[in-house]
Amino acid sequence: MGELDGPRLLGIDIGATRSRARLCTGGQLTAESQGPSASLPAAGREQAGAALSALLDDLKLDETEPLDAICAGSAGLSVPGAREFLRAHLAPLTWPGALTIVPDIQLVLPAAGLAEGVAVVCGTGSVAVGRHHGRTVQIGGWGYLLGDEGSGYWVVREALRRLLDRRDHARPPGRLGDQLLAATGCASLAELHRLVYEQPHRPSDWARHAGLVLGSADPAAAAIAARAADAVAALAAAAAGELDPAGSLPVVLAGGLLGNPAFRAAAREAVARALPHAPVSVLADEPVAGAIRLAGTGRSEN
């Protein structure tokens, strides 16, 4: 096989909204696929199973030859049964002891080529993880009911709060209100308010409107974006403070909210203000690259 000789490694990144997989052979990318979330708590067992099967099918794996190693980073691993669900689907594809399953946040630092530092993800939810001198800490990641400040769900919830406040003070919903009503197919703010309580358990359904909020010309949007950026900085500073009093650990930002250029710049600037001695970067590659790197280390599942 020439240049394609070498270990066959599978990396998978399963977020609350999307999933991505990469297959590398001999250090070269040979296949890639993406699709909806295969997270058990985010999608439910039936949909998560179908999503994971489709993700693997698209890679066209040779099932007669076990992969040398697999690493899957997934959202929602703290939910009972989530690890077992992934293990049941992935363990048959590789050798015993060659499967690594970690929280998806743990893919960010290796995806940036770092062994130590602070990773902050602001997607559907928000969380920071830091690693230094063999110690790992997590800040946030409590879920949309108790935390996730600065996340996509939080951004949309704050926008809805602003709209309800405008209604209470007999003010028009403004441009932001018009945009959210159109995006959700609601005829009135009362209907949108009711919809939030009818569909409370799918935060990703609401987080998908975060880009609309961050990109709105409505004055409230700028204030929400600034508060979200400050929340990202607070996560980074809290994780760094637990590990490095000097505040010099590198910080890597990742997540879907960073797709908005203005918010990406605001979050980076807020972190730089909070940690003036820390190099701050935005993840250039996809987190799934970190899964490939972790698979290549040969670690077995904890």
Q: Where are the domains of the chain?
A: 2-104+285-296, 152-282
Question: What string of DSSP letters covers 32-98?
Answer: EEEEE---HHHH-HHHHHHHHHHHHHTTT--TTS-BSEEEEEETTTTSTTHHHHHHHHHGGGB-TT-
Structure confidence by residue, pLDDT tens digits, 13-53: 998 888 999 999 988 999 999 999 898 887 888 899 999 99
Q: What's residue 231's pLDDT?
A: 96
Mean residue pLDDT across the chain: 90
Q: Nearest CA to 130 among 167, 149, 112, 105? A: 105
The residue behind tokens 């049941």 is 88
Q: Domain 2-104+285-296 falls in which CATH fold?
A: Nucleotidyltransferase; domain 5 (3.30.420)
Compute the average pLDDT of residues 66-89. Answer: 91
Asked if the domains at 2-104+285-296 and 152-282 fall in one CATH topology, the answer is: yes
pLDDT of residue 42: 78
Encoding tokens for residue 86? 């992934």
CATH number of the domain at 152-282, please? 3.30.420.40
Q: What is the mean pLDDT of residues 216-228?
A: 94
Instruction: Give the chain's length.
Output: 302
Determine the 3-state secondary structure of 103 from DSSP: strand
Q: Is the pLDDT of residue 265 over 90?
A: yes
pLDDT band at residue 199 using 50, 70 and 90 as cut-offs: confident
What's the confidence (pLDDT) of residue 298? 59
pLDDT at 300: 42
Count of CB atoms within 10 A of residue 171's CB? 11
What per-residue string of b and e applies to 10-36 under the rule 16 or more CB within 10 Å gives b? bbbbbbbbbbbbbbbbeeeeeeebebb
User: pLDDT per residue over 153-165, tens digit each?
Assistant: 999 999 999 999 9
